[in-house]
Structure 1
Amino acid sequence: MSSAMASSIAKNSSPFKVVLGSSSPARREILADMGYEFTVMCADIDERAIRREKPEELVKALAEAKADAIKLKLHGENSAQGRDQPTILITSDQVMVSKGVIRERPKGQEEAREFIKGYSGDKAFAVNYVLVTNLSNGASKGGWDIPEIYFHHIPEDFIQNVVKEGHMTCVAGGLKLTHPSVLPFIKQLVSNYFETTTLASAITLRTANLYWTVSLQPLKQQQYRIHCSDFEISSYVA
């Protein structure tokens, strides 16, 4: 196993392997709590070098770039060890969109403060893309979830404290929306969960700010069906 990879040992064995292509502690924690065996691997790509004008295209491009980078890292190991189980790679990306402007992870305190002030008394969109790849043959499917978030007024002293502490601003959009101290300022969240159907059982992962769901259900051998929000993609990741 490469030094970039770390295993989370499951309480229950599964007929498939899952590779989580993410450095997010929240995503790792949720998968581990659910008792699934999985491997974490970071893509280590320069996300700022990948640019798209539309947020939907940006998060898709980033999730795909992460998957491509991880597949390259895994190539040598897989060639040496072979693959005795179906293996699923999950990658994703998220940005916030406020007043029509894409908000990624802030570069510093001033940008984080600007982001949070922009949310106060207004609304923003969390643009998520999740990509599921069958590493046995490289086939993949993905989809978007774009919840709309309405905010109450966010006091200046709260913004100053959050920016100074820093641990709640190191995420896409500059504000960790799931933190208990942030929740009182969220007026409403309108969202359809993203759902991906593949092999067996169910996994719920969390993005930096919100939740997304990957359901693994048994189909025919070597076939993985993708279901995204309210529509189904008829083709298979096979």
Structure 2
Amino acid sequence: MSMLILASSSPRRRELLQQIGADFTVCPGTYDEDVPGRDNPEKFVHTQAVGKAASVAALYPHAWVVGADTIVAANGKILGKPRSEAEAVQMLRNLSGKGHDVYTGIALQCGESVYSHVEKTSVFFRPLEEAEIAAYVATGEPMDKAGSYGIQGRGAVFVEKIVGDYTNVVGLPLCALYVLMHKAGIRL
């Protein structure tokens, strides 16, 4: 089997790859994530994932590189990671009692071969109280997460239901990635 490299420093993505028994190394890319096109969530995460994979694949032309990017979109607006606690509070207020979509772009690249996919999962929050939003933000958990919450952490208590792939909301849609790996001839 060819070497597999995860082009991400995300501990959640590492845990998910370990969960399915993948043998991989980690090499975060140098791709500049601030690119235009934030008005189209699908296109945005696809561009990000392909860019991340390509930045590492250029260094390791004989390895398969996994690039991924996850965003939350609500009311047609992309919500990235909050830049402040106040922004995290505002994002959570906006998500309270409503549905939103989580998009993850994934790209698998080796040399000139590229396989990519965008996964979408709909997430529905129960109505949140101001005090619980403040307490959650005070834990620090929302600060490095798109949309200001982690479904795999304390933020799970906000989620009333999801429609789609749970691992997508965590940050790496395992079923879709496995299908891409199968197409590329990568066996676990």
Q: TM-score range by the shorter chain?
A: 0.7 to 0.9
Displacement of 1:62 in angstroms is 0.7
Q: Equivalent residue of 1:161, what SS?
A: helix
The alignment status of 1:91 with 2:67, answered yes or no, reads yes
Once the two structures are superposed, residues 93-145 of structure 1 have per-residue CA deviations (whole angstroms, 9 ceiling, x without a partner) of 11101122110111111111111111100111001111111x2x321111111
What residue is the counterpart of 1:57 in the other structure? Answer: 43
Higher strand residue share: 1
Change (3 A) 1:64 1:44: same
The alignment status of 1:172 with 2:146, answered yes or no, reads yes
What residue is the counterpart of 1:30 in the other structure? Answer: 16
Mapped partners of 1:90, 1:207: distance in 2: 14
Displacement of 1:218 in angstroms is 9.2
The alignment status of 1:105 with 2:81, answered yes or no, reads yes
TM-score between both structures, scaled by the size of structure 1: 0.69
TM-score between both structures, scaled by the size of structure 2: 0.85
- In terms of Rg, which structure is larger? 1
Amino acid of the structure 2 residue aligned with 1:18: L
Change (3 A) 1:47 1:140: same
Displacement of 1:161 in angstroms is 1.6
Amino acid of the structure 2 residue aligned with 1:107: R
The alignment status of 1:191 with 2:164, answered yes or no, reads yes
TM-align CA RMSD: 2.5
Which structure 2 residues correspond to residues 126-205 of structure 1 after superposition, within 5 A?
126-133=102-109, 135=110, 137-179=111-153, 181-192=154-165
What residue is the counterpart of 1:197 in the other structure? Answer: none
Mapped partners of 1:33, 1:178: distance in 2: 14
Structure 1 unaligned spans of 5+: 1-14, 76-82, 194-205, 227-238
Amino acid of the structure 2 residue aligned with 1:175: Y
Q: Equivalent residue of 1:159, what SS?
A: helix
Change (3 A) 1:224 1:72: closer
Q: Percent of aligned pairs with the same residue?
A: 22
Determine if contact 1:92/1:128 at 8 Å carries over to the other structure.
yes
Structure with more contact order per residue of length (Cα contacts < 8 Å, sep ≥ 6): 2
Q: How many residues align?
A: 183
What residue is the counterpart of 1:198 in the other structure? Answer: none
What residue is the counterpart of 1:117 in the other structure? Answer: 93
Mapped partners of 1:116, 1:98: distance in 2: 11
Amino acid of the structure 2 residue aligned with 1:149: V
Determine if contact 1:24/1:208 at 8 Å carries over to the other structure.
no
Mapped partners of 2:139, 2:6: distance in 1: 28
Q: Equivalent residue of 2:71, what SS?
A: strand
Mapped partners of 2:81, 2:160: distance in 1: 23
Structure 2 unaligned spans of 5+: none
Higher helix residue share: 2
What residue is the counterpart of 1:215 in the other structure? Answer: 178
The alignment status of 1:224 with 2:184, answered yes or no, reads yes
